[in-house]
Amino acid sequence: MVNWRSALALGVAAAFSGSAILSAQGERKLNDLEKKEFQTIVKVVDGPPAGQPTSNDLALTWVKNDLLKAQGNLQYVPFTVSVDTAQVPGKQLALYWRVVDKNPAPASKDDKKKKKNDYAYEDLTMVDLASASGVANIHRSFTVPPGTYEVTLVAKEPPSKDKKAPAPKVALVKQNLEIPNLWSEELATSSVMVATAIEQLAAPLTPQQQAERPYAMGGMEIIPAIGSKFTKQQELSTFMLIYNAKVDATNKPDVTVEYNFYVKQAGAEKFFNKTNPQALNGQTLPPEFDFAAGHQLQSGQGVPLASFPEGDYRLEIKITDKLASKTLTRDVNFSVAGS
């Protein structure tokens, strides 16, 4: 078996809640600069006729997203986009994202009275890139019910005070997402999040900090890895939450999590190694663990890659709910290089 360390202590993590929603729910007021940028960006999004190409002067790229439960039977979607900071001499951007349900329910009489811009989610934030160089990754989030969505993202430079300066650069990209229902009674998990680090927070985050750092929860913060390539000097650290496990008379689950590694060779897979299974039950969980109190079942490992030969791998994570006699698997594909 490969050597591994627990990525974090198993136990309690605070419930997720999404960042404040702009226009659709009016939970956050915009400052003057944001109001101006919002009006301009909405015209960019709504302006081009269908099928007309849009600009991407900032190399705006959708990198990845994850999926977790949110409060109120919603799904929490932290996501990452990147921009080329060489294209942003002012080191500041307005970032806007709009989430539209592609298959909305038939409109009722009350729905028909709503405004046209009643989207599933809409938000705008100013991004400071002063400390970034090269390709900068930006993390933000949204919360939505399960469904099929189109996410429109716009990055835009603020206008220059110099009237002779070129027009601000603008980038627009779209991303389709299928968001499943994590609030059903079926055994489920969050995304398997691959991290470069899992850090303890010295103090609770402010609402603004939470919006800018959507992978922070409770007293810890996951620093997500970008890409799936690692060196032998690194660790493969994973973290996930396990949902809807059945409980016994003491309100405790009985779940086993197995981590099996497979190496990909000549178009096929071969078992490589595994770690010790993790048991999550009344004997291993804290005595106060209680789903009804909002506690969440979590699993994570940090596996050093020094013993992994260079190549491509698949980590198979098998989750077994013994009380419900249900099993599901999650996969993480990654590669290991010498340096």
Distance CA 193, CA 144 (A): 20
Distance CA 82, CA 63 (A): 7
The answer to whether the CB of 83 falls within 8 A of the CB of 128 is no
Q: For residue 108, what pLDDT is reported?
A: 67
Q: Could you tell me how many residues make up the chain?
A: 339
Q: For residue 48, what pLDDT is reported?
A: 61
The answer to whether the CB of 146 falls within 8 A of the CB of 75 is yes
Distance CA 137, CA 135 (A): 7
CATH, domain range 5-15+192-337: 2.60.40.10
The answer to whether the CB of 280 falls within 8 A of the CB of 320 is no
Distance CA 173, CA 175 (A): 7
The answer to whether the CB of 281 falls within 8 A of the CB of 253 is yes
Q: Which residues contact 309 (CB under 8 A, 6 or more apart)?
A: 263, 336
Q: For residue 227, what pLDDT is reported?
A: 92
Residue ranges in the chain modelled with pLDDT below 70: 1-28, 48-54, 107-117
**Between the CA atoms of 44, 45, 49 and 52, what dihedral angle is there, to the nearest 10 degrees?**
80
Distance CA 299, CA 159 (A): 46
Using alpha carbons only, how large is the chain's radius of gyration in Å? 22
* Residue located via tokens 């008379």: 249
CB atoms within 10 A of CB 98: 26
Question: What are the helix (H) ranges across the chain?
Answer: 32-46, 109-112, 207-212
The helix (run of H) or strand (run of E) holding residue 287 is none
Task: State whether CATH 2.60.40.150 applies to domain 32-179.
Answer: yes
Distance CA 147, CA 180 (A): 7
The answer to whether the CB of 80 falls within 8 A of the CB of 139 is yes
- The residues facing 144 across adjacent strands are 75
How many helices (H) and strands (E) would you count in the chain? 3, 21
> Would you list the domain boundaries of the chain?
5-15+192-337, 32-179
Q: For residue 28, what pLDDT is reported?
A: 61
Q: For residue 207, what pLDDT is reported?
A: 82
Q: For residue 2, what pLDDT is reported?
A: 53
Q: For residue 9, what pLDDT is reported?
A: 35
Q: Enter the pTM of the model.
A: 0.87
**Residue-wise DSSP of 187-244:** -EE---EEEEEEEE-SSPPPHHHHHH-TTEETTEEEEE--SSEEETTSEEEEEEEEES
Q: Please indicate whether the domains covering 5-15+192-337 and 32-179 agree at the CATH topology level.
A: yes
